[in-house]
């Protein structure tokens, strides 16, 4: 059974930083795609950042240059470093994992096999 457990969310003022972590257990290995998604109230869940087993990462345009995704396969942990946070980043953040498709790792909700329970990030202006 796969479990993804997020931590590191909280409340921060605009311009601040947070680092999210996702502890992975079960059958998710280093070849799996891993990602962070977020969902704000009244909005659809969106892909924020994805990292492949080889370390290639892709980002939503809205977070490029501010967020950095990384993974430590030895510790079975996924991270998201978030800098220069703004109120528009307020959302529930979810860790996700899936086996890579023939086209690689995307930022599509439909590709995801496993979800964490989410961690709330609130940014005040």
Whether residue 104 is predicted with pLDDT greater than 90 in this model: the reply is no
DSSP the chain: --EEEEE--EEEETT--EEEEEEEESS--TTSEEEEEEE-TTS--EEEEEE-TTS-EEE-TTTTTTEEEEEETTTTEEEEEE-S--GGG-EEEEEEEE--BTTB----GGG-SEE---EEEEEE-
Whether residue 94 is predicted with pLDDT greater than 90 in this model: the reply is yes
pLDDT at 27: 87
pLDDT tens digits, one per residue of 8-37: 999 999 999 999 999 999 988 889 999 999
pLDDT tens digits, one per residue of 29-81: 889 999 999 999 999 999 999 999 989 999 999 999 999 999 999 999 999 99
């Amino acid at each position: 059974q796969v479990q993804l457990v997020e931590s590191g969310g909280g409340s921060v003022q605009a311009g601040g930083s947070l680092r999210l972590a996702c502890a992975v257990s079960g059958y998710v290995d280093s070849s799996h795609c891993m990602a962070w998604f977020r969902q704000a109230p009244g909005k659809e869940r969106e892909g924020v950042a994805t990292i492949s087993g080889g370390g290639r990462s892709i980002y939503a345009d809205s977070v490029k240059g501010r967020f950095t995704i990384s993974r430590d396969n030895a510790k079975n942990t996924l991270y998201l470093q978030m800098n220069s946070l703004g109120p528009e980043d307020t959302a529930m953040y979810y860790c996700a994992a899936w086996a890579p498709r023939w086209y690689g790792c995307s930022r599509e909700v439909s590709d995801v096999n496993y979800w964490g329970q989410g961690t709330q990030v609130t940014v005040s202006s």
